[in-house]
Amino acid sequence: MTTIEHWIDGALTSAGSTRTAPVHDPATGRRQAEVLLAEPSDVDTAVAVAGKAFESWSNSSLTQRTRVLFAFRELLVRNEDELARLVSSEHGKVVDDARGEIVRGREVVEYACGIADALKGGFSDQVSRDVDVHSFRQPLGVVAGITPFNFPVMVPSWMHPIAIATGNTFVLKPSERDPSASNFVARLYAEAGLPDGVFNVVHGDKVAVDAILDHPGIAAVSFVGSTPIAKYVHERATAAGKRVQALGGAKNHAVVLPDADLEFAANHLTAAAFGSAGQRCMAISIGVAVGDAADGLVEVLERKAREVKVGPGADPASDMGPVVTQAARERVLAAVDSAAAQGATVVVDGRSLTVEGHEDGFFVGPSLLDKLTTEMDAYREEIFGPVLGIVRVDTVDEAIALINANPYGNGTAIFTGSGEAARRFQREVKVGMIGVNVPIPVPMSYYSFGGWKDSLIGDSPIHGPEGVRFYTRAKVVTTRWPHTEAGFNFPTSS
């Protein structure tokens, strides 16, 4: 049995870990490896190493840092296929989907390659007689990231490239469900010339998380995960005096107006709901059908949901792979059971799906639920699986009110041919990221990612300009250089 170790100070190590957790192949259900679970002493070791590395890395030139990041970016391109297959083997998503997350993560690396522009300070001349003022930003120190299973490459890449480019050192605690991608990335950083200790990986569970949140040597923590855990991370880490980025869960709606192209909308809703088996914080889990759009939309969605090919992630014919664990599968099944019991119409039922030759895999098929209401559990809860619910409303005003009443505010979309309706929608919905005829509006790396309400705890979005601000702090310097004259006369008291 392969044991997945930590990456500390430029090398694999078991450190002081004795506990392990299983790593499964979701397509077969079989245990394929075990991962070490860090003790607080292991976190201490990683932080001490990162703290030592910070002394020199923070004083490195911007040219040196960006040279490493350019090399790292090229290595991500060169090793994309191998990394995607590694992600697929532990997460379950299809290889093409894994490639997609690598590409989106690489975009943040590319933004970090141009970090010099984002770090330019300001200068004001002659603010008072012979007085000038200038500002610049400096790194914080050792920073940490705690990341979820659903994007083992992309989500950590929202954090570490910008943190490292701005002069910090980094400790990553990835999900123990699919840990190997983080070690792979660490090896690429080393090959790119990143000094030992600047990027470290500590695998673990809540023990490691709490050690990170409490550690006095860590200046800031970035987290992506469920809302209850985001609240916990934010409260505990801020109490320990740290900066915190804490991104929580979501219940994303896509509104379809009667003037929308239903084939176009259904194509995108199908991909947004069932891609990566629905295990995305930006997945569309609720379609809001307005007025006459409802019957036609459900008809097209039913056809497209039945066409989704479910199979192992490594099979090029698969559109959708398994969910990540048996517990995740059971949660999805329970959500569909609950919706049926509470009165929703199960148009497409994925509960009974089996994949030949992979009967023990964590597979569940796409499910389409019609006539969902806001009181039903399948509407209120974040299922995090391949379930698309349709809520029917009469007007766009009702659709906007529905979205605004939801406690989450991560992403939303509208499908329409009306510029007026789209403009009103984007101004009135209380959501952080909005798509117009775009179902998953994840912004490009030079914008920041972050929702509203229970989808973002605190006020620190991730990557882009907000990421630079988060990983640095400003200094403002006021200077005066008075004119002095050298004299040859004997000094006197005057």
User: What would the pLDDT profile of 309-356 be if each residue is shown by its tens digit?
Assistant: 999 999 999 999 999 999 999 999 999 999 999 999 999 999 999 999
Nearest to 377 by CA among 347, 332, 317: 332
Residue ranges in the chain whose pLDDT is less than 50:
none
Give the pLDDT confidence score for residue 192 in this predicted structure.
Answer: 98
Provide the pairing of β-strand 199-201 with 169-173. parallel
- Residue 56 CA, chain-centre distance (Å), reads 29
Global pTM reads 0.95
- Tell me phi and psi for residue 305, to 5 degrees: -65, -40
User: And the tokens for 155?
Assistant: 């989500």
Maximum separation of any 2 CA atoms in the chain, in Å: 102
User: And the tokens for 103?
Assistant: 């590409």
Give the pLDDT confidence score for residue 492 in this predicted structure.
Answer: 64
Nearest to 383 by CA among 361, 407, 367: 367
Question: Who contacts 18 (Cβ-Cβ below 8 Å, separation ≥6)?
Answer: 39
Gap between the Cα atoms of 52 and 459, Å rounded: 30
Question: Who contacts 328 (Cβ-Cβ below 8 Å, separation ≥6)?
Answer: 279, 362, 384, 385
Nearest to 278 by CA among 248, 259, 305, 255: 305
Sign of torsion over alpha carbons 79, 85, 90, 94: positive
pLDDT in tens, 199-232: 999 999 999 999 999 999 999 999 999 999 999 9
Tokens 């840092």 -> residue: 65
Gap between the Cα atoms of 91 and 147, Å rounded: 14
- Contact (Cβ atoms closer than 8 angstroms) between residue 203 and residue 20: no
- Contact (Cβ atoms closer than 8 angstroms) between residue 448 and residue 462: yes
Gap between the Cα atoms of 40 and 38, Å rounded: 7
User: And the tokens for 468?
Assistant: 């630079």
pLDDT in tens, 360-394: 999 999 999 999 999 999 999 999 999 999 999 99
Question: Who contacts 490 (Cβ-Cβ below 8 Å, separation ≥6)?
Answer: none
Mind telling me the catalytic residues? 281
Element (H, E) at 2: strand 2-4
Gap between the Cα atoms of 227 and 246, Å rounded: 9
Give the pLDDT confidence score for residue 490 in this predicted structure.
Answer: 66
Give the pLDDT confidence score for residue 134 in this predicted structure.
Answer: 97
Give the pLDDT confidence score for residue 494 in this predicted structure.
Answer: 53
User: Looking at residue 239, what DSSP letter applies?
Assistant: H
Give the pLDDT confidence score for residue 485 in this predicted structure.
Answer: 73
